[in-house]
């Protein structure tokens, strides 16, 4: 069975997450600091090295000022 971190739907969500961060004009380091983490926290998520959980997605959506639907629309 394919790991969900590597499936197409997950990759689409992460691409939108990165787009939202860039549109918010925020570096990986700045975003990581907001969560009390270093830049590798965001970097690993954006490289598919670290699994993103739903609460992290919710918090990132708030930080980047995007509705959750932005990340979930058109993923299937």
The 10s digit of each residue's pLDDT in 42-73 is 999 999 999 999 999 999 999 999 999 999 99
What residues contact residue 34 under an 8 Å CB cut-off, 6+ apart? 63
Does pTM top 0.75 for this prediction?
Answer: yes
Which has more confidence, 35 or 6? 35
CATH homologous superfamily for the domain 4-72: lambda repressor-like DNA-binding domains (1.10.260.40)
Q: Where are the domains of the chain?
A: 4-72
- Say if CB 13 and CB 56 are below 8 A apart: no
Alpha-carbon torsion 13, 29, 58, 54, what sign?
positive
């Amino acid at each position: 069975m394919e790991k969900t971190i590597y499936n197409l739907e997950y990759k689409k969500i992460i691409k939108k997450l990165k787009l939202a961060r860039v549109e918010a004009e925020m570096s990986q380091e700045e975003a990581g600091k907001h969560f009390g983490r270093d830049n590798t926290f965001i970097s690993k998520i954006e490289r598919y090295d670290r699994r993103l959980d739903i609460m992290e997605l919710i918090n990132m959506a708030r930080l980047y000022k995007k509705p959750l639907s932005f990340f979930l629309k058109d993923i299937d």
